[in-house]
A = this chain, B = another copy of it.
């Protein structure tokens, strides 16, 4: 493909809700999805919640002709649930597993077992290189009291890091998936502002779908209306995001979502709506993609930078809240463990009295003795496992906070108008006049 040519690209994204034996009409819905994909022949298909590898393999078989290239991203206990089908050859893949993803003891939520991650595939579109990302972040079970918010913010932070650092060689970047974040949620703003990714729904020339682009709608028979309160109609949490490069521009001409039902079918494809974006690739760098690389308009760049500083600061605050919670939980498990140990020693001491004072009567009924001992061991084991888990959670949160602080320092220095690139003479000279912690003024 010559660079002067325009190329169109159709991208599809769907959270398949594919929990075998638990999700309603799972096999029938996979059959419907397979048929539709086979017929529609999108260039790139990004699927989430394909929890069973068997379902992926069935889809792969069905789409062998329309989408000869595919990849299933494996992670965690169950898998990442992420799958990708493509008409174009997948040259290379890479998986980044988020360091935080809920709690294993919240088994009814199940996120931890899924090993949530972001999968990347490098595709060659003629002479262009596309980096295509698919992801699924931790679900939001209660918006008012969202105990998973720090985890989701760290996931959004790691997602933007992963995309920024792995996309330097890309001509175009496409991200599709279920972000489990509303358009103006902190993690979403962080992702879009830091990476420069643009929301297809917001910039499409033509949109056909549900009001406000919502993708988890009240009209869908599989969604629980109660869980959507206070959003009567539904929420927008699935996205297709795009970004060009200095060489290549990318635009969304048409965006479509399903509307809760499928023609000639008794039920929809999933509890989420499916997204389709018709993208146009070109070699002209137009005004709205120029800010991908070097901003032409300095004022606007400074504005964006200031916005980014605010967002990262907000994210850092949220992560600090998470650190506080994790510290408290770790402390609680340590204290409970110590109490369990004290109880065990107390029991042993009481039991030892008649043993030492020969002839004295055994004050402990045997049944109670063994039950109490078992309880003590159970407490010790559980609190030990929890302590290890919370320590890992704490390390990940602290790590993210450290990275945010460092990034803030760099951003603020840029914002102050200091030259980011150091002068040559500074290279081997002593770093005079620069204070050790100067890049982290907030600490």
**If A71-B402, A77-B388 touch, does A427 touch B94 (CB 8 Å cutoff)?**
no
**If A79-B395, A436-B64 touch, does A8 touch B428 (CB 8 Å cutoff)?**
yes
Whether B124 pairs with A422 at a CB distance below 8 angstroms is yes
A residues 370-424 near B (Cβ < 8 Å) are 370-371, 374, 377, 381, 388, 391-392, 395-396, 398-399, 402-403, 406-407, 410, 420-424
Q: How far is the CA of A367 from the CA of B366 in the complex (A)?
A: 7
Q: How far is the CB of A178 from chain B (nearest CB, A)?
A: 20
**If A168-B168, A169-B168 touch, does A68 touch B126 (CB 8 Å cutoff)?**
no
Whether A1 pairs with B74 at a CB distance below 8 angstroms is no
Binary contact track A422-440/B, C-beta < 8 Å → 1, others 0:
1110111011001110110
A residues 346-388 near B (Cβ < 8 Å) are 366-367, 370-371, 374, 377, 381, 388
> Which stretch of A85-93, A234-242, A247-255 is in the interface?
A85-93
Whether A392 pairs with B427 at a CB distance below 8 angstroms is no
Whether A424 pairs with B75 at a CB distance below 8 angstroms is no
> Which stretch of A19-27, A95-103, A197-205 is in the interface?
A95-103
Residues of B contacting A115 with CB < 8 Å? 392, 395
Residue of A120, A371, A427 with highest tally of chain B CB at under 10 A = A427
In the complex, whether A127 has a CB less than 8 A from a CB of chain B is yes
In the complex, whether A161 has a CB less than 8 A from a CB of chain B is yes
Q: How far is the CA of A347 from the CA of B294 in the complex (A)?
A: 73
Q: How far is the CA of A41 from the CA of B87 in the complex (A)?
A: 53
**If A90-B406, A370-B370, A434-B68 touch, does A74 touch B396 (CB 8 Å cutoff)?**
yes
Partner of A420, one of B124, B161, B428: B124
